[in-house]
Structure 1
Amino acid sequence: MPIRFTLNGKPVEAEPAASDMPLLYLLREEPFALNGPRFGCGLAQCGACTVLIDGRAVRSCSYPAEAVEGQAVMTLEGLGTAANPHPLQAAFHAEGAGQCGYCTNGMIMQSADLLSQNRRPSEDEIKEALAQNLCRCGGHNRMVAAVRRAAAQMAG
């Protein structure tokens, strides 16, 4: 049975291959073929697959695709474009916060959730928000700096 939802601001319809198909698989496969959310652990523990559902960060590897019926899903691709990046995307680039890049999707999407709730987070609040997202490269300090930079830009 097809599900209808909004993906990156556009109404879409898709039929999951199986009733228990994770949202991550639906997003990465046809017809969407998105590359932002990544498969990391498959257990909702690393954060590489993070997307926003109705504005809140969700691990898409463990979220059933069928559950997005009627909801708004935002992926990294929906935040901004190369020509007009979201302040977080621009700040991560400016701070060199994506060393290997595998965790970058999750870090940015988790940060977008944080900044939607707290426009001026402290360094400790940023670290707490990103604590459950894994980065094996050790780029956390640059990521915190990027979130601070984006927060300052977004606050005006």
Structure 2
Amino acid sequence: MSYPTRSLSTHMRGASGSASTASQSPALMARIEEKKAELEHLKELRDLSAAVAAQMEALEKKVSTLSDGTEAIATVMGNWHNVLRAINMASAKFAAPPGDAAAEDEPSEPLPQTLVRIPTEHAPALQAQAEAVGEAAAAEDESTAST
């Protein structure tokens, strides 16, 4: 893109001498049009940059939530060995071998109720609900990724 080498003051003097502003130099008009087009492109770039910034902020919030959830899962998983050890200790205390002489002298005590109860009657409904939520989240992630 080359620009006229003539100075603006000499160009303006030549234009001021004419009777009409419509007879301005075609080079000057072309440059004005170029600058208008450049301004439009800059405005479009600004709008697109603002949209990208908003999407990045939304992504940052989602990643932060994911990070917090991961930490919570790690804490739960880290505590499972303690839970299982406590269950094992409680079960071992009440389970005595049947041939033990000390156990025959004492009246037999019934074993305690189950320490961990996992309801299974609602499992299919809960699993279907969890899958539906997972599919909805995946569809939302795809829609935000495509925009």
TM-score interval, normalised by the smaller of the two chains? under 0.3
Return the structure number with greater strand share. 1
Tell which structure's C-alpha radius of gyration is larger: 2
Return the structure number with greater helix share. 2
After TM superposition, the score normalised by the length of structure 1 is: 0.19
Greater RCO (Cα-Cα under 8 Å, separation 6 or more): 1
After TM superposition, the score normalised by the length of structure 2 is: 0.20
